[in-house]
Amino acid sequence: MGPFWQLGYSGTPGNGKANRVFRVGASPAIPGHDAGHAPCHAPAARRAALPAALPVDAPWNGPPVEESVSHELLALHFVWACTGPLPSRGNMRLTKLEHSALSIEKSGSRLFIDPGKFTTPITEAAGTVAIVITHEHDDHWTPEQLTRILSRNPRTPIFTTPSAAEKIIAADLPDIGEVIDVAAGESVLVGGFDLQFFGGEHAIIHSSIPRIENIGVLVERGALYYGGDAYVAPEGVDIDVLAVCANAPWMRLAESMDYVERVRPKRVLPVHEMLLAKVGKTLAVTRLRESADRVGANLIDLQPFETLELD
């Protein structure tokens, strides 16, 4: 198993405010934890019971922590020690929202990716177990969208870049829980979803604009890959659905076409298109379809709120 996820947690246990972010290293040896198992995120009910299982005065035998934190807080780290077999993909359904926002449902659980400002206010959020935000730009997240999701699913963990995590924490949202900064090469099993992260930097917009952090996310070991605002993709992975940008200030359409032909997914899903007029979107989709055809992929031109089944 590769490096485990970096955990961001509240300053004081149970205060409901995520105001610290710090890193833990690779998961230590745990009975039954091997290549066929992965760490999982304990549900809130179990997490609440953990201090009794690991008293605050117990010695800490976990991975090194980069900054000094109390045993009281470290007791809550025990959530990452829960193990279990890697889940099967099962039946999953993807719903395309506007722009880059995606919702993936599996066995009654829901994962949101990039609920930003160009997306209709989110009202269908029941069962949300995780939120992934690829980077800090507001077309990929807003405090208002997170508040809508969290109001129905308090303390849902949010996985994002370190810089975006700082902005989310600074927003001081109600019902906030763990804000977890992740980096390329890290993975997590959360709420039945297997997530792996790739990339590191946002594509260049202009030489005058500093580059920011960006992560891509692989869902269920290849059912879906979305790279955020970058063209990084996992190597040697068979990808069912590749979500690919159709338009952005940082891209040329030729780059997205090359990306499709390099990754060679089974299906191509155009996203990130809200800045396009109808004629522009038609052109972008046509060109992306040509690239998909060249590698034997099917282009799926979902409209907002349309769905598809993931393999």
Distances (CA, A) of 195 to 81, 131, 177: 17, 11, 19
Token duo for residue 58 = 């117990």
| Cβ pair 263, 274 in contact under 8 A | no
Q: Quote the pTM value.
A: 0.73
Phi first, then psi, for residue 152 (nearest 5°) are: -95, -15
State pLDDT tens for residues 171-222: 999 999 999 999 999 999 999 999 999 988 887 888 898 888 999 999 999 9
Q: What is residue 255's predicted lDDT score, i.e. its pLDDT? A: 93
As a whole number, mean pLDDT of residues 133-149 equals: 92
Pairwise CA distance, residues 199 & 5, whole Å: 15
DSSP code of residue 202: P
pLDDT at residue 109 is higher than 50: yes
Q: What spatial distance separates the first Cα and last Cα of the chain, rounded to whole Å?
A: 24
| DSSP helix/strand/coil, 123 | coil
Neighbours of 257 (CB within 10 A): 19
Average pLDDT over residues 83-103: 76
Residue 91: the pLDDT is 86
Which is more confident, 162 or 76?
A: 162
Average pLDDT of the segment spanning 242-260:
88
- Angle subtended at Cα 144 by Cα 143 and Cα 149, rounded to the nearest 5 degrees: 95
Can you give the pLDDT at residue 90?
63
199 or 224: which carries more pLDDT confidence? 224
Q: Which residue in the block uniquely carries the two structure tokens 């066929």?
A: 36
How high is the pLDDT of residue 67? 36
3-state secondary structure of 71: helix
How far apart (Å, rounded) are the C-alpha atoms in residues 156 and 195? Answer: 15
Higher pLDDT, 101 or 3: 101
Residue carrying the six token digits 């659980």: 109
> What whole-number distance in Å separates Cα of residue 73 and Cα of residue 13?
6
Domains of the chain: 19-85 (no CATH), 92-302 (3.60.15.10)
In this predicted structure, the answer to whether residue 132 has a pLDDT above a threshold of 70 is yes
pLDDT of residue 10: 29
